[in-house]
Structure 1
Amino acid sequence: MTTRHPALLVLLVGLLGALLTSPGLARDLPSPGRVEVPVADQTDRARQAATAAGIDGVLKRLTGDPAVTETAAAAEMRDQADDYLQGFSYRRGEDGDSFLVARYDVRRLREALVAADIPIWPQRPPTVLAWVSMDDGDGPRILQSGDPGELGDQLAHAAADLGVRMLFPIMDLQDLAAISHADIAAGFVDPVIDASGRYGSDRLLAGQVVARGGAARVGWMLVDPEQATTRRWRVTGEAAGQLVDETLEPLLEQLRERFTYLPDLGARGRLTVRVVGIRDLAIHDRVTERLESLAGVAQVITLGVRGDAADFELSISVEPDQVRDSLNRDARLVATTDGYRWE
């Protein structure tokens, strides 16, 4: 094949390669403030009931905790649901059922949760890359993006309902060379970490599902790729839905423990700072302490770590330029083109 536009061809090939190696091929999270609730009709009474019910879905996405709906704060927000409603419409499903499509004020709901001392996800919730080896008697296979199977699809949907983006590998030649079914079945940590580097996920979930005679069992491990720490648990069930429930409960508990927080509502704003040169946990802690010591900084949250670079979110009560001036005067922090380097 020939082309009169070789530069265009190179660009298209590059874009295709970027897409194929990007976790963006996985299911995107729904807008946290958009919820669909089934309704019997379009009367005001039905809309008000659906509006109150819809808030529960938003609260679970913002906190990652299904139990949040049982709190007194959630009950109060349901009672005042119309105050948080930004707009609504109706949609008819393929089977003729009607749905209220409600859009809520996420900022105000986050503030209400924090005011009630209920921790919330950061603005960018955690992502989990799932390496799932299926052994159902027809030969093992690893669930992949675009074809995650019933279990993978249910896991991704259920995780999204709790504000977590679950990815699956694309299983191209690079993945196939980096990891095997045997690695996952044996619970080896290093191959999982090595194969996952290209996806940039916050946590790695890996396990082999063995399904026989209508029952299934799986031993999961949740890996922190930066610290190389692992937590393991086992689940059994007779259906994919049961496996999903028993998988997500401990998974979300561990994610909430690490990622949810109570932001400072009194802060004037937020400032994101990238620092490179963070080679271990001790340096990370020293950088965090240094950032917390700056005048006007009320709180420091680690948004993510990639290699030796970490992104920090600073809650500030002064103008951002004042904080930047303090950073630029710090002898241990050297300004770079996109942040600072710890020395």
Structure 2
Amino acid sequence: MEILLNRLLLALCLFPAAWPAIAQNASAPGEVRVAVSDDSAAARSAAIETGVVRMITRLTGDPAVGDSLIGQRLQEQADRFVEGFSYRRLETESETETEDAADAQRLELALQLDEPALREALVRAGVRVWPSELPTVLVWLALERDGERQLLDASAAAALAPGLRSLAAERGIRVFFPLLDLADRQTLTYVDVAAGFTEPIREASKRYNADLVLAGRLQRDATGYVRSRWIGLGEEVSRGRWQAAGPSVEAVVEDMVPRIARRLRRVYAFLPDLDARRRLEVEVRGVTDLSALDALQRRLGAIAGVQRARVTRVAADRVTLSLALQVDSERVLAALADDPRLAESGSGWRWQP
């Protein structure tokens, strides 16, 4: 085993491109889609500026960034961030047999933008950005309507609030709903969510490993008007309770997006060290085969602020990695301590399969 891992180490040194990338910041450029009236140069130019604003909003979680000085400057230089584009025609739902086919199509410009370059420009201007591993939010919904009470699964929740995930994605936040399978139902009930009982909500949410958990009770009257009560839970995000009301379930749920973004930005948005000059050496025991090594590397790559991880030594079941950091080492060490797959062992860590 040791011989095999040492051969792998040699291959990594000689052919680094052959190994799956560890650095999260080396992600593919982001895609942004913008509706356009036609394929003229003028319409395309305006759409590119819009696309840049959407991308920097996604990178920061802050919709006001487009109106800032750096936002205006990036819009003025928008063309330099375009790596490719294409047009797509999408059928609209209003198409009829008598309607002109051209009028029944929507033209869309799909842009490939240089996301790392935009991120760097924001950071150099002192604007905090999301980590490459975007924050996640789990949403539990308990709905009362027409005298019936139910805890909604992913399909039902997505149908009631179809725009929630896309609205959150516009701010760089990944929202998802629970499966509500047997494991969930054994841990959590409608009453638990409706009453805001924190312990069962926390317990049921553990398996989803979300950065923030939202649990909401929604009461819809005969007119469709909705009143809601919410509780927010997170390991690092401060908990809170609040109420909201609106003309529909969709409106009430989607109105949570700005509140979610503000809470998450206070904890997760940061100013990375673009040169990744900080270093942290990590020794991990219990890495007994290649699959464990691959899992470990992926785990380290999921830590916010780790720009690059390089294997420097392999001995028996011990692997030493040098991490290039964009944040203080204390922040990364805290993330390691919170990782259920890693247990502190002496001066290092032990991998727990």
Both proteins in one fold, TM over 0.5: yes
C-alpha distance in 1, partners of 2:323/2:167? 42
Matched with 1:48 is 45
* Counterparts in 2 of 1:157 and 1:94: CA distance versus 1, 3 Å: same
Deviation at 1:169, TM superposition (A): 0.8
Aligned pairs (5 A) from 1:168-317: 168-212=177-221, 213-224=223-234, 226=235, 230-268=239-277, 299-300=327-328, 301-302=331-332, 308-309=338-339
Answering whether residue 348 of structure 2 is matched by residue 334 of structure 1, we say yes
Matched with 1:113 is 122
C-alpha distance in 2, partners of 1:147/1:274? 45
Q: TM-score, normalised by structure 2?
A: 0.69
Question: Partner of 1:93: helix, strand, or coil?
Answer: strand
C-alpha distance in 1, partners of 2:125/2:244? 34
* Counterparts in 2 of 1:237 and 1:69: CA distance versus 1, 3 Å: same
* Counterparts in 2 of 1:32 and 1:67: CA distance versus 1, 3 Å: farther
Residue among 171, 187, 200 paired with 1:162: 171
Deviation at 1:119, TM superposition (A): 0.7
Please tell me the residue identity of whatever aligns with 2:348.
V
Question: Partner of 2:126: helix, strand, or coil?
Answer: coil
Residue among 136, 145, 162 paired with 1:136: 145
* Counterparts in 2 of 1:245 and 1:149: CA distance versus 1, 3 Å: closer
Matched with 1:122 is 131
Where do 5+ consecutive residues of structure 2 fail to align? 1-27, 93-104, 286-321
C-alpha distance in 1, partners of 2:216/2:39? 45
Matched with 1:148 is 157
Deviation at 1:42, TM superposition (A): 1.0
8 Å contact kept, 1:215–1:238? yes
Please tell me the residue identity of whatever aligns with 2:209.
G
Deviation at 1:239, TM superposition (A): 2.8
Question: Partner of 1:250: helix, strand, or coil?
Answer: helix
* Counterparts in 2 of 1:272 and 1:262: CA distance versus 1, 3 Å: farther
Deviation at 1:148, TM superposition (A): 2.0
Question: Partner of 1:62: helix, strand, or coil?
Answer: helix
C-alpha distance in 2, partners of 1:37/1:295? 38
8 Å contact kept, 2:284–2:348? no
Where do 5+ consecutive residues of structure 1 fail to align? 1-30, 277-293, 313-330, 339-343
8 Å contact kept, 1:61–1:160? yes
* Counterparts in 2 of 1:229 and 1:52: CA distance versus 1, 3 Å: closer
C-alpha distance in 1, partners of 2:283/2:206? 19
Deviation at 1:146, TM superposition (A): 3.0
C-alpha distance in 2, partners of 1:311/1:273? 14
* Relative contact order, higher structure (CA 8 A, sep 6+): 2
Deviation at 1:335, TM superposition (A): 4.5
Matched with 2:88 is 91
Runs of 4+ in 1 over 3 A off after TM superposition: 149-152, 226-229, 268-276, 294-298, 301-308, 335-338
8 Å contact kept, 2:273–2:325? no
C-alpha distance in 1, partners of 2:206/2:243? 25
C-alpha distance in 2, partners of 1:50/1:295? 39
Please tell me the residue identity of whatever aligns with 1:309.
D
C-alpha distance in 2, partners of 1:306/1:143? 34
* Counterparts in 2 of 1:56 and 1:275: CA distance versus 1, 3 Å: farther
C-alpha distance in 2, partners of 1:228/1:190? 16
* Counterparts in 2 of 1:160 and 1:249: CA distance versus 1, 3 Å: same
Q: TM-score, normalised by structure 1?
A: 0.71
8 Å contact kept, 2:283–2:349? no
C-alpha distance in 1, partners of 2:147/2:201? 24
Q: Deviations over 1:173-216 (max 9, x none)?
A: 11111101111111110001111111111111101111112211
**Number of aligned pairs?**
274
Deviation at 1:162, TM superposition (A): 1.1
C-alpha distance in 2, partners of 1:108/1:181? 46
